[in-house]
Structure 1
Amino acid sequence: MLPLLSGGTAIATAATPGHTDEGPVFEQWRETQHRGSDELLTAGLGIEALRSTSAPAFARPAQPTADEARRRAIWSSWRGIADLTPGGGFGDVYGNLQAAPGREFSAYARVPGARQPHRVLVQVPDSFDPAHACLVAAASSGSRGIYGAIPVAGSWGLAHGCAVAYTDKGAGSDYYDLDARAGFQADGTPATQGALAFVPGEATTPHGIAFKHAHSGDNPEADWGRHLLQALQFGLQALDRAYPRSAPFTAANTRTLGVGVSNGGGAVLRAAEIDGDWFDAMVAGEPNVSVAGAPPLFDFVTQAALLMPCALLALDDLPQPPLQAQLAPASAQRCTTLKSAGQVQGDDTAAQARSARQQLADAGLGEDALRAGAFSTGLDLWRAIAATYASAYGRYGAGEHPCAYGFSATGADGRPGPAPAGLRSTWWSEGSGIPPGSGVVLVDGNAARSAEDPLYGLNCLRALGTGDSADARRVRAGIAEAAARAPRRGLPIVVIHGLHDGLVPIGMTSDRYVPLARKAGAQIAYWRVDHAQHFDSLLAFPDYRKRYVPLLPYMFAAMDQVWAHLEDPAHALPQDALVQPTPRAEAPLLRGQLSIPGIPATPGR
């Protein structure tokens, strides 16, 4: 048993990093107890506090405690991923919010050849039964921090008495302030010295913000599968420590399930490629996955950053927010600029918008996905995503971006500048892993050129995927490393994707991956869900819940059905389905509206 420090935390550090013949070595082990008013699933917040737009407070804003940082991180992850609105159904129609007392184990892991570690964390509920051991492994959605899969994997796994292992898959919210030379410790508290979770290599700039996804010097996406496998391996080691009398826990004596959404879903499919019977089954929702031989998602992202503001003018009845009336003048100007550059055709704004829309349609983007993409367009997410991924694919450090993009905190006037300590202290808890957000913005270093060519930065990003410069070849090499391969035979997999997904379009991802997997003999079920887009959290807006249904109910249903089969093969595995649900509008969601595959339709709930 490790000696307990103050606050119920135990820490041990592995003697050396790297790998052994028995598997990876995990560094800086920590164990914390979470019971009573501070449990595993919601940190004791409960549904009402999770719904609150006010973050859990820090007693000292510039120096939160580890418990405060953790509580706010869990609050932020729930709000960013799930629809928690009254009547939305979470915790009632689907999902679980029941308090789960237990322990957490956390550490750093490193895949072979990586410069930077990734975080791994395991939640072991008190309801865990060593005689019927089960472990759910999940990678964070998007580029979120270590709790970025808790509304999915934690909600389901803890309710089933399983341990839940997480990884931030080499991204996460361990931002580093280059001006203050400050980052975050293992417990999520800010610091300027000690064993920080992320310290960038030599930066060519002393100013701004570095973050792991963009500036680690690694290409995290290429290793997503190994990140998830290491989380599972860490989970088994954590169970050995939690229940030494029942050790060793192995993949042979522990039921294992891989699960994730968005980038986390991509990590699940990449882990499915790995030889060995580590996982018993996989469930991937709206996976960000590209296959060799087809245009990568980076190609679509850079095209969307250029064309979508103009293309959306060719559609009516766009979801609100963003407020399209306010964006229309800038969108019309984008059409004009694209026309001047010869990138769209047409003599007026309407014709130019149709030209932009047609180019996106030719790339594989359907009208429903284009309409849902209005949200990402309004927030300028396409450019931020393209800048971040280009940096990661090319393994560029801070200040080295080939298109001169960087990231900075904002001052009180909203302009880039040094970060106040009170702002910096929130990043680990609230950062999404890809700014903008939490007081960090994308900075375009092309100001002088952009005055003459407003599209210079966007065209530079696009050329990294389509051109033949040294930087383009470098970025494309990183993209090729991240392409998915077929999963191992015999592994049950369920892929779930919304037909209206405007961020990770189904036609460019799952529709390409599933045939690849099947050609290789994969045991795969494919649920395509009408009226589902990428962000369940957007259903907090009335116009979105009139149009869309949440995707997470289908994740939970697939996990239930796969689990039932693993426990008793007499229960059939999920089968292919085209799901036709009904959005709830302003009425409470009823289970029957979801038309969940494999469940007979019944009136009411």
Structure 2
Amino acid sequence: MSAHTLRTAALAASLLLACAAGAASAAPARTSAAKPAGKTTAQDSAAMFSSERQTDHRDRDDLLSAGLGLDGLRAMVPPAFADAAHPTAAELRRRALWSNWRGIADLAPGGGYGELYGSVAPVPGREYSAFARLPGAKQPHRVLVQVPDGFDRDKRCIVVSASSGSRGIYGSIAVAGAWGLPKGCAVAYTDKGAGTDYFDLDAGLGVRADGTVGKPGDGELAFEPDAQARKAGGVAFKHAHSQDNPEADWGRHVRQAAQFALRALDRAFPDAAPFTWANTRVIAVGISNGGGAVLRAAELNDEPWLDAVVAGEPNVYVAGARPLYDYTTQAALLMPCALLHKPLGAMPVAPLTGDSAQSFCDFAAEHDLLGDAARAGDTAARAQAAYERMRGDGWSDEALRAGALSVNFDLWRAVAATYASAYGRYAPALGEGAGAGADQPWVRYVYSAATPAGPDAPPVARAASDGERAAWWADASGIPPGAGVQLFGPPAAGATPRLDGMAGLRELWTGQSLRADVDRAALRRAGERVRKGVEQTRAGAPRKGLPMVVVHGLDDGLIPPAFSSAPYVAMARKAGAQVSYWQIRNVQHFDAFLGLPALGARYLPLLPYVYAALDRVDAHLAGGAALPGDAVVETVPRAQGQGMKADNLAVPK
């Protein structure tokens, strides 16, 4: 789960179906004991979709990189807009691809991409896109299908994926597109109810199907808060403010994307239609939140539709494990302090919240989070107590060390604020006064364009410019701060307002007030809303016999395997599922950060193992090759300044 390009710049830098009479008899059947013949076709799902578009991508504008190629994706400056305030749909797409590639993959020279694993070689083809909506949902989600000109009609395959983190519709291009398109598969994507369709509440402007800015009523918008919510001002974004708790429906979002892929293939190849679950192979793959989404899709057993699943570093919650909201809010308060424990050997900590790591130690001690001894001790004693508390709650040393990245980029606060609003199904915060809601103080975070006030002063909220607003769809990661949108609040008195705000987010999970002035009745109501939302995201068991590979880095400090993949695999196996589990040493959560020399010398990328797992399940489905066994992969990080070699990765054969 993650907002993969938060502050990366600061670090270095797509209807009518035409089916020929009798075509069904010509379509090859793909049936097996695991996936019996089904009747679902693209026509069955037509009512789900709106604002459908088709675009062609050839010559200097391909499916994988919009013609940028590896060199263009490596460029530190994004592709320019001819008119910054009014970019074209094509310009926005190109820039979104640039942003999403750079936010997911390590493309730096020497990092191995395009040499040891992966490719951005041009793939010409067509894109089909639409808004999809689940019954009862307030907002639509995006689906998009890329159909290469080299689509293999004999193989008939779909790779379906969900965006990593809260990213927009191209948020899995480096995961699913890079593997599936060169193999002649159609690739289907969903933003799973999150994404970068920000709504400017001040200007009353949102995002159209093609990524351009529009007014409500000026074509369907991807996200349109109701009139009451628009009174809040600032910026609203779908993951936090849709009031749909999208995570509860991630699996259904994935299946709708696959259904739209059948529809797109019928449209692309009418002479070979209909494409159905019975005659088209479907492999689901995703990482981070996308990995959790494909695991949730695996539990949808009402009809046979899915052939295999590969999940990398999945944000997934099962009964008895710690959910994301629990360990995120704990980390927000304790991790900066725990990382000061010198024997841990973590990288230096400099939180971007405006509070020092020592102030976290002081706050935790003063609010009885570390025990009596730490209250009277010095910073070293408090750091040790925070470290021991987190270790006792399941954090490994490896996860703690890598968690320093999330501390330094203010990810814990950004994630906690977003998910509290999502789980509680809150609209944008209205602030103080009428309509604010008696149980809203804990999620009264405000998002706005901002002007920096100075090197040591906080940013100042202001209205967004036309140019800033126009670029959000392409540039944003789906969770502010980033792309010129900042996170403010909640308003609090005292010397540590940011820490007080994070304490409030923690209170929603524990139900225990950390501050003296808390309205306990309001806390109870708000906590019940959030905890109900969390429970709605709990994963169930996958279909028995469904081939699955789960891949996770043992150094993941954002979605630690101890809280996510490990308990999921145990649960799935207890239910009789067929799951292979690869645990990779020296791999943390963010491949995109490995271009930084210090991180590249310590950690290895996850994507090579996800691609390898896809190769293995594809060979199994195509020819009956054995599925991989479990593996703890012993890797060797490269020396600083040296290029990646195959021996460093030690990818299971």
Structure 1 equivalent of residue 188 of structure 2: 165
> How far apart in 1 are the matches of 2:607 and 2:78?
23
DSSP-derived class of the 2:52 partner:
strand
**Is residue 527 of structure 2 the alignment partner of residue 500 of structure 1?**
no
Cα 1:21–1:255 change in 2 (3 A) is closer
Cα 1:127–1:367 change in 2 (3 A) is same
Q: How does 1:210-221 map to 2 (within 5 A)?
A: 210-221=236-247
Structure 2 equivalent of residue 177 of structure 1: 200
> How far apart in 2 are the matches of 1:306 and 1:154?
37
Cα 1:441–1:326 change in 2 (3 A) is closer
Structure 1 residue ranges without an equivalent (≥5) = 1-9, 14-18, 600-605
Measured after TM superposition, the shift of residue 23 of structure 1 is 6.7
Higher RCO structure (Cα 8 Å, ≥6 apart): 2
Structure 2 equivalent of residue 487 of structure 1: 542
Q: 1:364-397, CA deviations, whole angstroms, 9 ceiling, x for partnerless residues?
A: 1101110100011011110110110010111000
Measured after TM superposition, the shift of residue 131 of structure 1 is 2.6
Q: Alignment partner for residue 383 of structure 2, among 349, 353, 357?
A: 353
Displaced runs of 4+ in structure 1, greater than 6 A? 10-13, 325-329
Cα 1:317–1:299 change in 2 (3 A) is closer
Q: 1:337-385, CA deviations, whole angstroms, 9 ceiling, x for partnerless residues?
A: 2222222242100000111111111221101110100011011110110
**Over aligned residue pairs, what C-alpha RMSD do you find?**
2.0
Return the letter of the residue paired with 1:111: L
Return the letter of the residue paired with 2:505: L
Structure 1 equivalent of residue 326 of structure 2: 299
> How far apart in 2 are the matches of 1:94 and 1:23?
38
Q: Alignment partner for residue 579 of structure 1, among 628, 633, 650?
A: 633
Q: 1:142-166, CA deviations, whole angstroms, 9 ceiling, x for partnerless residues?
A: 0000000000100000010100000
Q: How does 1:227-306 map to 2 (within 5 A)?
A: 227-275=253-301, 276-306=303-333
**Is residue 223 of structure 2 the alignment partner of residue 198 of structure 1?**
yes
> How far apart in 1 are the matches of 2:248 and 2:494?
33
Say if 1:40 and 1:125, in contact at 8 Å, map to a contact too.
yes
Structure 1 equivalent of residue 623 of structure 2: 568
Say if 1:137 and 1:166, in contact at 8 Å, map to a contact too.
yes
Say if 1:409 and 1:419, in contact at 8 Å, map to a contact too.
yes
**Is residue 486 of structure 2 the alignment partner of residue 418 of structure 1?**
no
> How far apart in 1 are the matches of 2:127 and 2:57?
7
Q: Alignment partner for residue 480 of structure 2, among 403, 425, 435?
A: 435
Structure 2 equivalent of residue 525 of structure 1: 580
Cα 1:421–1:356 change in 2 (3 A) is same
> How far apart in 1 are the matches of 2:341 and 2:475?
35
Return the letter of the residue paired with 1:99: P
Measured after TM superposition, the shift of residue 173 of structure 1 is 0.2
TM-score, with structure 2 as normaliser: 0.86
Measured after TM superposition, the shift of residue 21 of structure 1 is 5.7
DSSP-derived class of the 2:261 partner:
helix
DSSP-derived class of the 2:446 partner:
strand
Q: 1:39-63, CA deviations, whole angstroms, 9 ceiling, x for partnerless residues?
A: 0000100111101110000000011
Structure 1 equivalent of residue 340 of structure 2: 313
Q: How does 1:122-133 map to 2 (within 5 A)?
A: 122-133=145-156
Q: 1:76-105, CA deviations, whole angstroms, 9 ceiling, x for partnerless residues?
A: 000000000111111110111110000000
> How far apart in 2 are the matches of 1:114 and 1:376?
32
DSSP-derived class of the 1:131 partner:
coil
> How far apart in 2 are the matches of 1:12 and 1:187?
19
DSSP-derived class of the 2:177 partner:
helix
Q: 1:208-251, CA deviations, whole angstroms, 9 ceiling, x for partnerless residues?
A: 11000000010100000000000000001100000001000011
Q: How does 1:373-384 map to 2 (within 5 A)?
A: 373-384=403-414
Name the stretch that deviates more: 259-268 or 457-466. Answer: 457-466
Say if 2:509 and 2:530, in contact at 8 Å, map to a contact too.
yes
Measured after TM superposition, the shift of residue 315 of structure 1 is 3.7
Measured after TM superposition, the shift of residue 36 of structure 1 is 0.5
Return the letter of the residue paired with 1:510: S
> How far apart in 2 are the matches of 1:507 and 1:76?
30
Measured after TM superposition, the shift of residue 68 of structure 1 is 0.3
Measured after TM superposition, the shift of residue 325 of structure 1 is 10
Say if 1:319 and 1:544, in contact at 8 Å, map to a contact too.
no
Say if 1:318 and 1:324, in contact at 8 Å, map to a contact too.
no
DSSP-derived class of the 1:472 partner:
helix
Cα 1:20–1:215 change in 2 (3 A) is farther
Measured after TM superposition, the shift of residue 192 of structure 1 is 2.5
Return the letter of the residue paired with 2:451: G
Q: 1:155-211, CA deviations, whole angstroms, 9 ceiling, x for partnerless residues?
A: 000010100000000000000010111111100111234121111123173411100
Q: How does 1:79-158 map to 2 (within 5 A)?
A: 79-158=102-181
Q: 1:382-418, CA deviations, whole angstroms, 9 ceiling, x for partnerless residues?
A: 0110110010111000115441212111136442111
Say if 1:11 and 1:28, in contact at 8 Å, map to a contact too.
no
> How far apart in 1 are the matches of 2:621 and 2:543?
17
Q: Alignment partner for residue 554 of structure 1, among 601, 609, 622?
A: 609
Cα 1:375–1:318 change in 2 (3 A) is farther
Say if 1:406 and 1:445, in contact at 8 Å, map to a contact too.
yes
> How far apart in 1 are the matches of 2:496 and 2:273?
66
Measured after TM superposition, the shift of residue 323 of structure 1 is 6.2
Cα 1:273–1:452 change in 2 (3 A) is closer
Q: Alignment partner for residue 465 of structure 1, among 505, 509, 534?
A: 509
Structure 2 residue ranges without an equivalent (≥5) = 1-13, 18-41, 431-439, 454-458, 512-522
**Is residue 445 of structure 2 the alignment partner of residue 405 of structure 1?**
yes
Say if 2:128 and 2:264, in contact at 8 Å, map to a contact too.
yes
Measured after TM superposition, the shift of residue 24 of structure 1 is 5.1
Return the letter of the residue paired with 1:429: A
> How far apart in 1 are the matches of 2:87 and 2:496?
46
> How far apart in 2 are the matches of 1:450 and 1:218?
34
Measured after TM superposition, the shift of residue 544 of structure 1 is 0.6
Say if 1:532 and 1:548, in contact at 8 Å, map to a contact too.
yes
Name the stretch that deviates more: 75-84 or 584-593. Answer: 584-593
> How far apart in 2 are the matches of 1:537 and 1:46?
17
**Is residue 531 of structure 2 the alignment partner of residue 476 of structure 1?**
yes
Say if 2:289 and 2:314, in contact at 8 Å, map to a contact too.
yes
TM-score, with structure 1 as normaliser: 0.93
DSSP-derived class of the 2:462 partner:
coil
> How far apart in 2 are the matches of 1:474 and 1:209?
23
DSSP-derived class of the 2:127 partner:
strand
> How far apart in 2 are the matches of 1:68 and 1:329?
39
